[in-house]
Amino acid sequence: MKNRIQGVLGLVSCLLLLSPTLGMAKGAKPASVPANKVKKAKKVKKMMMWELKGKTATIYFFGSLHVANKSFYPLPSAVETAFRRSQCLVVEADIASQSQSQIQRYTMKYGTYIGTNLSLEKDLSKKGMAKLKAYLKKQGIPLGGMRFMRPWLLGMTITVLGLQKAGFSQQYGLDMYFLRKARRRIAAGQNMKVMELESVLFQLKLFSSFTKKMQEAFLLSSLIQSSQLKKYFKALDIAWKTGDLKGFEKWMSQFSKSPDSKIVNDKMFRKRNIGMTNKIIQYLKTKKTYFVVVGTGHLVGKDSVIDMLQKKGYSPKQCSTDHFKSTKKKAKAVPASKPAPRKAAPSKK
């Protein structure tokens, strides 16, 4: 059982990107992208990165995908440059800083029925339980090993399995990529600090706070989506790689049509974005440079962190792949004053 739990612990954060699906109506079919309408990613300059300059601090926001594949690498040089210039890496939750045993205890408490009189059969409706059994039977997965998981954790596990089949992995997640780089900089004695906007415990408590109805909705939608994740991520892949904000927002909007989704999105995004924004405003009062890596869903659209900062009078600007090159060109455009020629020393008589 411990091995089964440990297998999904490191993937808890991937649900943050996929969380809008929590509110999908039971049995609702995901909107697929017609093959003839999927455009190939073109080489463009816009990126899912923003720069916000304060009086003494600079903050780079980088929209992460918590699960990805090799095709996302190498990252644009402008992204790597922004990270090199930063003294602080800020992530949603630093899973690597927690011991596996500690995360296991948290997950068992908030994501399983262990030590309680509750069960999956009691939490799910008869219709929901029937759909779950039919799905697991088709996939050749025994129900016995899943019974200890609460619906939200079981739904996440099924989603993760689907992502792995589609070729996505947390190993290539963008936040994990920068966490590894930050650890290497710290080990080398460089000026780097890892900070959290939230925590693993905060996120687990958030997931477990959803009602039975919401958890079942997420679980059932996970069953539907698990076989169609390639279609979902094809559109997401293109929008992210081209810095297409409207395209990414449109991709997310398909999960916000049911009444349940509005409640879920309010907790998963808007309320969390308020907390993130308040912390970021505090960073602007320092004299440091921050590289903030959060799920792209927190940076795009209405009530995103970027939107909230703009409403408060700040001006974060979306960056392009030639961001630092264009900055250098502007600097070169200003002619440097030549030093005055040295006067010859007076001859001694």
pLDDT of residue 38: 43
pLDDT digits (tens, 9 = 90+) for 91-112: 999 987 878 888 888 989 999 9
Higher-pLDDT residue of 224 and 82 is 82
Higher-pLDDT residue of 214 and 202 is 202
pLDDT digits (tens, 9 = 90+) for 265-293: 788 899 999 999 999 999 999 999 999 99
The answer to whether 229 and 163 have CB atoms below 8 angstroms apart is yes
Residue 335 inside a domain? The answer is: no
% of the chain exceeding 70 in pLDDT? 78
CA distance 237 to 67: 11
pLDDT of residue 20: 38
Beta-bridged to residue 63, according to DSSP, are: 294
Q: According to DSSP H, which parts of the chain are helical? A: 2-9, 14-18, 77-84, 100-111, 120-123, 126-139, 151-165, 174-187, 200-208, 212-225, 229-241, 245-253, 259-265, 271-283, 305-311, 323-333
Three-state SS for 194? strand
pLDDT of 225 above 80: no
Residue 252, token pair as written in the block: 């997310």
pLDDT digits (tens, 9 = 90+) for 155-204: 888 888 888 878 888 889 999 999 999 999 999 999 999 999 999 899 99
Residue 94 inside a domain? The answer is: yes
Higher-pLDDT residue of 102 and 342 is 102
Three-state SS for 272? helix
CA distance 313 to 309: 7
CA distance 160 to 168: 9
pLDDT of residue 29: 41
Residue 117 inside a domain? The answer is: yes
Residue 14 inside a domain? The answer is: yes
pLDDT of 1 above 50: no
CA distance 65 to 14: 8
HSE of 181, CA atoms in CB hemisphere, 13 A: 21
CA distance 240 to 143: 36
Residue 339 inside a domain? The answer is: no
pLDDT band of residue 5 (cuts 50, 70, 90) is very low
Domain range for residue 316? 2-28+43-322
Evaluate the omega torsion of the peptide bond into residue 74 and state whether it is cis, within 30 degrees of 0. yes
Instruction: Count how many domains the chain has.
Output: 1
pLDDT of 42 above 50: no
Residue 35 inside a domain? The answer is: no
Residue 338 inside a domain? The answer is: no
Residue 333 inside a domain? The answer is: no
CA distance 30 to 162: 14
pLDDT band of residue 61 (cuts 50, 70, 90) is very high
